[in-house]
Structure 1
């Protein structure tokens, strides 16, 4: 492997604290629309349901619109909260509209990106929706660290499809051998990158995973040495 010159990061759940920001967004829109559910109960049901629908979305089994609607519909059904289709549609739209207004990052994100920026070209590869991802980066004040942003909408496919990695490398004018992917999802980020020929680091803890993994972004510096 050549010396690493390009670092490709996932955004949600890797740099941008999706769960924290998502919870704040739901609290805001539920208050606005007088949705009377306990937030702790809602989040405990919603998060695994959301993960399930995102996996279906990654594999092109549902559309973006289906994902946005079904994850809320199923959560309300489990909670036995009566929400008609109009309310679910409005909440779905308001959630996307407001999500980027919250900007909690994982610990040490700004510090680590600041240290890496002089020595590496930094990039984002994300399956998140194009209309939201750039806003998230601007709101959390990390957009200036990155040379390129590749979304699944831009590439026309989603991680782990090799075509999104090919698109990102072409946009960054980078070679596989001088690139490294960092992300939280083993299937989409790590295995997807490796199958394409890019080395990858898992952001998270998984005892079944045999490769490099970090639980704090500051640990990335030890892997890059």
Structure 2
């Protein structure tokens, strides 16, 4: 479908290649236990996950800071659970979460298979809204860093996806025209609509179970990309 024009493939990282949900759960299992926070992990994650999603949406829109994101997602979760956890413990948890998150290295199904398939044929890159200090560690720990020529994050760009400036920076760094590039990501607003507005071709890897739409091709497993590229 995209075979004739694409030379460069840009990936999102979290929820697209790197298994954020599994690695995050393992991190919380570790730090909640070590800090003797008495909440059931499964119940905690059930409340935390949608709150974290909402906080990231606010962060993308520059409505909260990075430090507020890290604090509020925990404070709101514990408050909703009715768990009495001090600000001091929340600050410790917020720090340790970032410190340990990248030590877990699970990838989403068929991530390595599709990177191995694409890398001989295309130049591969990353565009991520994740924090600069952890994204490199995630990629190196999960042994995928070497696949990518250009890695652009929101702190480097000064804006977050879907802002056009982060895509412009990535395209400039890769020295590729939008029409010869494709963006593969999990978030419809940040990855797909953001890249599409720049004139890039797009594939939505619907790892989050978002509603179907007609904006672009949707895949539910990364291995389906073999049929497109």
Gaps of 5+ in 2: none
Question: Is 1:220 equivalent to 2:225 in the alignment?
Answer: yes
Cα distance in structure 2, aligned partners of 1:36 and 1:172: 48
Which residue of 128, 131, 150 maps to 1:129? 131
Alignment partner, residue 146 of structure 1: 148
**CA-CA distance at 1:213 after TM superposition:** 0.7
CA distance in 2, matches of 1:176, 1:196: 7
> Which runs of no fewer than 5 residues in structure 1 stay unpaired?
none
C-alpha deviation, 1:37, in angstroms: 0.4
Residue of structure 2 in register with 1:173 after alignment: 175
User: What is the CA RMSD across the aligned residues, in angstroms?
Assistant: 1.0
Q: CA deviation at 1:70?
A: 0.1
Q: Which residue of 2 aligns with 1:90?
A: 92
Counterparts in 2 of 1:11-50, with a 5 A limit?
A: 11-50=13-52
SS in 2 for 1:104: coil
1:209 to 199, 209, 213: 213
Instruction: Measure how far apart 1:207 and its partner are.
Output: 4.2
Q: Equivalent residues in 2 for 1:187-206 (5 A)?
A: 187-204=189-206, 205-206=209-210
Question: Residues 99-144 of structure 1: CA distance to partner in whole angstroms, max 9, x if unpaired?
Answer: 0000110111111101110100000000000000000000000001
Q: Deviations over 1:12-46 (max 9, x none)?
A: 00000000000000001111111110000000000
1:105 aligns with 2:110: no
Query: SS state of the match for residue 90, structure 1?
Result: helix
**CA distance in 1: counterparts of 2:117 and 2:202, whole angstroms:** 20
> TM-score, normalization: structure 1?
0.97
Secondary structure of 1:218's match?
helix
TM-score by length of 2: 0.96
Q: How many Å separate the matches in 2 of 1:190 and 1:209?
A: 11
Query: How many correspondences in the alignment?
Result: 224
Deviations 1:138-184 (CA, angstroms, capped at 9, x unpaired): 00000011101100001000000000000111111111010000000
Deviation at 1:208, TM superposition (A): 3.5
